[in-house]
Structure 1
Amino acid sequence: MSNGDITLTAGDAEVTVLPGNGGRVGGLRVGGVELLRQGERFGCFPMVPWCGRIRDGRFRDGAAVHQMPLNAPPNAIHGTARDAAWHTARTSTDEAVMTYDLVEPWPYSGRVTQQIALTGDSLTLTMSVETYESSFPAQIGWHPWFNRSLGGGEDVGIDFAPAWQEERGDDHLPTGRRVDPRPGPWDDCFGMPGGVDVTLTWPGRLELKVTSREEWVVVYDEQREAVCVEPQTGPPNGLNTHPRLVTPLEPLEASTTWTWTRL
């Protein structure tokens, strides 16, 4: 199938999927109201095969040191898949499945599969990274840009109870120390060992819960237009500090669900 845009519908919810633009969700409308910031860099993009920044763009795998392009100098950020066209494997009224084959500059071969499944009150994003050749470290995450305001009304509120915050150095990367959660604004990684559970509330309009079995979430609300709640399989620079191995026997898999209710 081609990598043309896909529209999913369920109840009064509608999702636009953009395989040709990084396999991202381009829009999520509930009752005709757009929840995601619009624009080719926004929506919600997959972060794979790593999440957030890699220090100096370098990560070690055994004795080998690999250099990624410095797309956020002096670091590399958010993986390679968001800059690529994905292949649509199958699609129905309320579900789409896309694949992306890892290529240069990523030094290992592997396949990423992303499933996007819509119901009348939820959206579930599931991703896996698999390989049939050599094992490698990887991460999976999602980077949604939720509109701060839904057109009139109060700005969104963010409610969550993390167990810790990754202390952030001057270089925006975790220092390796865990500290008590601090008040925002944030561009920070938090630990939620029971699973990610963050509630966004647009007063009088909508409540949306971002959940995941993963225990890491980056919250970014330093922008005027949008707030980001990013579940991921490890912290920024995690290829170096918390590597999760993809092996021929064991793919890396993760999912996140957004569930909403009208207020």
Structure 2
Amino acid sequence: MKLACGPWEMVVAPEGAAILSLRRNGRDILRLTPQGASDPFDHACFPLVPYANRIAFGTLEWEGRLHHLPRNHPGQTHPLHGTGWRERWDIVESDAKSVTMQRERPADRHWPWSFTAVQRLELDAEGLNAWLEIRNDDRGAMPVSLGFHPYFSRDGATALQFEAGHVWLADDQMLPTKTAPADHFGDWSAALPLEQPQLIDHCYADWNGSAIVTRDDGDIRLAGSGTPALHIFLPPGEAFFCAEPVTAMPDAVNHDEAAVLAPGKTMQAGMRITSA
């Protein structure tokens, strides 16, 4: 499904409620999903629901009960990114510039609470507005963290700039261990080149909600709403990087950082990708 407004064009799909491409003036702002791709990791962007990033070894204790979640993607030791990115959503509303998708999901072994998720994607003359909501349809409270996983194209992009309070360091399985100053890997507030010598796959907490991607065709602003953390995935030598607005750190439920969502209650997160 193709959406357009002004200089912006976007292609979306109900599989994983995914964005397959996002272009401005004909140039890829998010990386282009390969034709015929079947792996959701190849998508340009997908929602993170009902949890963001990893849950360590799929084990979590909630309200005195221990739960074990199975692995949900080949090659991944820990359940990753929730359930929504791997499932087909229903298109409930659409027009030339926007689409709303919904996923009603009963409890199962991948997530032991029932919920309904809604994602709305809309283009305007400035860029993309994304909105994600989850409602707890279960009889008990459930842990929740939300977010978005955009893969930005490095074609024409040279630097990234943002401000945060601190960064979560991680072990060799990329599970959070302790915090460090936000400039531990370099001073992002002054803008750092996207070409870094080491892998960065870390969550920056107390993010101020804004980041700037320096591009040769005009800078891009990433903004988050209700997302006090920004997860950066910057793999050396790749044609993409990720800057993910999220509501909490990886493995949030095991660090008492997940939100507690009561039955019938909702929680939202938002993201904007616009010209700076």
Fold match by TM threshold 0.5: yes
Question: For residue 208 of structure 1, what is the aligned residue in structure 2?
Answer: 220
Identity of aligned residues (%): 22
Which residue number in structure 2 is paired with residue 187 of structure 1? 201
Which one-letter code corresponds to 2:235 in the other structure?
Answer: E
Q: Distance in 2 between matches of 1:231 and 1:44?
A: 12
Alignment check: 8 A CA contact 1:49 1:80 kept: yes
Aligned position for 1:58: 59
Matched, 1:78 2:81: yes
Question: What is residue 198 of structure 1 aligned with on the other side?
Answer: 211
Aligned to 1:94: 97
Deviations 1:155-200 (A, max 9, x none): 431111211101212221111x22112225411100135x321111
Find the aligned partners of 1:84 and 1:159 in 2 and give their Cα distance: 33
Secondary structure of the residue aligned to 1:128 is strand
CA RMSD of aligned residues (A): 1.6
Report the alpha carbon displacement of residue 239 of structure 1 after superposing the two structures with TM: 2.0
User: What CA deviation, in whole Å up to 9, does each residue of 1:89-144 have, x standing for no partner?
Assistant: 10011111000122432111110000111111121111111023322111111111
Give the TM-score normalised by the residue count of structure 2: 0.85
Q: Distance in 1 between matches of 2:172 and 2:240?
A: 23
Q: 2:271 aligns with which of 238, 253, 256?
A: 256
Q: CA deviation at 1:51?
A: 0.8
- Checking the alignment, whether the CA contact within 8 Å between 1:129 and 1:246 is kept in structure 2 is no
Q: What's the TM-score, normalizing by structure 1?
A: 0.89
Give the aligned residue type for 1:133: D
Residue 109 of structure 1 pairs with residue 114 of structure 2? yes
Q: Which residue number in structure 2 is paired with residue 3 of structure 1?
A: none
Whole-Å separation in 1 of the counterparts to 2:96 and 2:174: 41
1:219/1:230 contact within 8 Å kept: yes
Give, in whole Å, the separation in 2 of the partners of 1:239 and 1:37.
31
Q: Higher mean Cα deviation, 129-138 or 83-92?
A: 129-138
- Consecutive aligned runs of 4 or more in structure 1 exceeding 3 Å deviation: none
The number of equivalent residue pairs is 248
Amino acid across the alignment from 2:82:
G
5+ unaligned residues in a row in structure 2: which ranges?
186-195
Kindly provide the amino acid, as one letter, of the partner of residue 79 in structure 1.
G
* Aligned residue identity for 2:43: F
SS of the aligned residue for 1:76 comes to coil
Matched, 1:247 2:245: no
